[in-house]
Amino acid sequence: MRAVAAALAFSAALFTAAPAAAEEPDDSFLGTIDVIGIPITDPAVAIGTARAACQSLDDGAEVPAAVDTVAADTGISPDDAAYFVGVSIGAYCPHHEGLLS
């Protein structure tokens, strides 16, 4: 779980460090996912998955549950899913960044 927590914190920090002032959240999200190296086959599906992760957090889910759901739904590793959720939070639900500490 420590690795997942570190991945979440790192990915959110990486997202906020990216130059996103003039970019749309979708472009920033996809760009950060690309920099991290998480394979994406369909950008629209990745964006939908990211937004769904945020919705689950809005609905009261815990971050580890969101990570598990992303891993199960996408087939990516749990570590990549943790990065994915961290970037998702940075892009689409920054009000949940406090959950990453």
Residue 19: per-residue pLDDT: 52
Which residues lie closer than 8 Å to 72 by C-beta, 6 or more apart?
Answer: none
Domain ranges of the chain: 2-100
User: Model confidence over 58-74: pLDDT tens digits?
Assistant: 999 999 999 999 999 99
Question: pLDDT tens-digit profile of 19-33?
Answer: 544 469 999 999 999
Q: Work out the end-to-end distance of the chain between its first and last CA atoms, rounded to an integer number of angstroms.
A: 12
| Banded pLDDT at 101 (limits 50, 70, 90) | confident
Q: What is the distance between the alpha carbons of residues 37 and 61, in angstroms, rounded to a whole number?
A: 26
Q: Is the dihedral of CA 57, 96, 16, 67 positive or negative?
A: negative
> Residue 95: is its pLDDT beyond 70?
yes
Tell me the average pLDDT of the chain.
Answer: 86
